[in-house]
Amino acid sequence: MASHLFCGRVNLNILREAARKDLREFLDKCSGSKEHEVEKMFTLKGGRIPSAAVKNIVFFVRPRLELMDIIAENVASEDKLHPRDFHILFVPRRSLLCEQRLKEKGVLNSFTNIDEYILDLIPYDGDLLSMESESSFRECYLESDQTSLYHAAKGLMTLQALYGTIPQIFGKGECARHVANMMLRMKREFAGSHTQILPVFDTLLLLDRNVDLLTPLATQLTYEGLIDEIFSITNGYVKLPPEKFAQKKQGEGGKDLPTEPKKLQLNSAEELYAEIRDKNFNAVGAALSKKAKVISAAFEERHNAKTVGEIKQFVSQLPHMQAARSSLANHTSIAELIKDITTSEDFFDSLTVEQEFMTGVDTDKVSTYIEDCVAQKDPLIKILRLVCMQSVCNNGLKQKVLDFYKREILQTYGYKHILTLKNLEKVGLLKPQSTMRNNYPTIRKTLKLWMEDTNEQNPNDISYVYSGYAPLSVRLTQVLARPGWRSIEEVLKMLPGPHFEERQQVPTGLHKKRQPGENRTTLVFFLGGVTYAEIAALRFLSNMEDSGTEYIIATTKLINGTSWIKSLMDSPEENLP
> Is residue 377 involved in binding another protein (CB under 8 A)?
yes
Among the listed residues 19, 157, 169, 182, the single contact to another protein using CB under 8 A: 182
* In the complex, least distance from residue 143 CB atom to another protein, rounded to whole angstroms: 6
Part of the chain binding another protein (CB under 8 A), chosen from 95-103, 256-264, 302-310, 387-395: 95-103
Of how many residues is the chain composed? 577
Contact status: 308 vs another protein (CB under 8 A): no
Rounded CA-CA distance 265/278 in Å is: 16
- Let me know the angle formed at the C-alpha of 410 by 408 and 411, rounded to the nearest 5 degrees: 65
The residue from 21, 55, 290, 416 that contacts another protein (CB under 8 A) is 416
> CA 354 to CA 219: how far, in whole Å?
8
* Choices 29-37, 227-235, 266-274, 369-377; region in contact with another protein by CB under 8 A: 369-377
355 contributes a contact to another protein by CB under 8 A: yes
Q: Which of 345, 489, 545, 546 binds another protein (CB under 8 A)?
A: 345
The minimum distance between CB 3 and another protein, in angstroms, equals 34
Window contacting another protein (CB under 8 A); options: 117-125, 364-372, 475-483, 497-505: 364-372
For residue 56, what are the β-bridge partners? Answer: 85
Q: At what angle do helices 147-163 and 13-31 cross, to 10 degrees?
A: 110
- Please classify residue 27 by burial: count the beta carbons closer than 10 Å to its beta carbon, then call 0-12 exposed, 13-18 middle and 19+ buried: buried
Using rule CB under 8 A, residue 191 touches another protein: yes
Residue 55 has φ and ψ, to the nearest 5°, of -95, -35
CA 431/CA 434 separation, integer angstroms? 8
Q: Is 573 in the site for another protein (CB under 8 A)?
A: yes
| Residues in 102-141 that interact with another protein by CB under 8 A | 139
For residues 55 and 290, give the distance between their C-alpha atoms in angstroms, rounded to a whole number.
55
Q: Which stretch binds another protein (CB under 8 A): 239-247, 318-326, 414-422, 511-519?
A: 414-422
66 binds another protein (CB under 8 A): yes
395 neighbors 429 (Cβ within 8 angstroms): no
Cβ-based neighbour number of residue 321 at 10 Å: 15
342 binds another protein (CB under 8 A): yes
Query: Residue 156, interface with another protein (CB under 8 A)?
Result: no
Q: Measuring CA to CA, which residue among 229, 204, 281 is closest to residue 480?
A: 204
Shortest Cβ distance from residue 433 to another protein (Å)?
15
Would you say 166 or 182 has its CB closer to another protein? 182
- Residue 215 interacts with another protein (CB under 8 A): yes or no: no
- Write out the binding residues for another protein, residues 255-284 only, by CB under 8 A: 282
Q: Which is nearer to another protein, 198 or 419 (CB)?
A: 419
Site for another protein in 488-527 (CB under 8 A): none
Q: Which element (helix H / strand E) includes 115?
A: strand 111-116
Shortest CB 205 distance to another protein, Å = 20
Measured from the CB atom, the residue of 11 and 112 that comes closer to another protein is 112
Q: Least distance from C-beta 397 to another protein, angstroms? A: 13
Among positions 149, 233, 238, 495, the unique one binding another protein when judged by CB under 8 A:
149
Helix ranges (DSSP H) in 32-114: 65-76, 96-104
Member of 94, 239, 398, 512 binding another protein (CB under 8 A): 94
Q: Does 300 bind another protein (CB under 8 A)?
A: no
DSSP 216-277: HHSPP-BHHHHHHHHH-EETTEEEE-GGGG----TT-TTPPPP-SPEEEE-STTSHHHHHHT
Q: Which stretch binds another protein (CB under 8 A): 24-32, 248-256, 526-534, 567-575?
A: 567-575
In angstroms, rounded to a whole number, what is the distance separating the alpha carbons of residues 444 and 450? 7
Taking CB under 8 A as the criterion, the residue among 391, 467, 478, 522 binding another protein is 467
- Among 192, 253, 319, 517, interactor with another protein by CB under 8 A: 192
Amino acid at the residue 7: C
**418 binds another protein per the rule CB under 8 A:** yes
The yes or no reply on residue 468 touching another protein (CB under 8 A) is yes
**Cα separation of 142 and 533, whole Å?**
25
Closest CB 41 distance from another protein, rounded Å:
27
How many CA within 13 A on the CB side of residue 220?
28
| Among 34, 80, 82, 188, contact with another protein (rule: CB under 8 A) | 188
Q: Binding of another protein at residue 254 (CB under 8 A)? A: no
Distance of CA 59 to the CA centre of its chain: 25
Kindly tell me which of 7 and 569 has the beta carbon lying closer to another protein. 569
Give every CB contact of residue 33 below 8 A, 6+ residues apart in sequence: none
458 binds another protein (CB under 8 A): no
Neighbour-count burial of 420, counting CB atoms closer than 10 A to its CB (0-12 exposed, 13-18 middle, 19+ buried): buried
Q: Is 340 in the site for another protein (CB under 8 A)?
A: no
List the one residue from 11, 31, 56, 95 that touches another protein (CB under 8 A). 95
Helical residues (DSSP H) of 343-434, grouped into ranges: 345-358, 368-375, 380-393, 399-413, 418-426
The answer to whether residue 343 forms part of the interface with another protein (CB under 8 A) is: yes
Q: Which of 236, 242, 360, 428 binds another protein (CB under 8 A)?
A: 360
Shortest approach of another protein to residue 251 CB, angstroms?
Answer: 36
Rounded CA-CA distance 99/220 in Å is 42
**Position among 33, 43, 109, 193 found at the interface with another protein (CB under 8 A):** 193
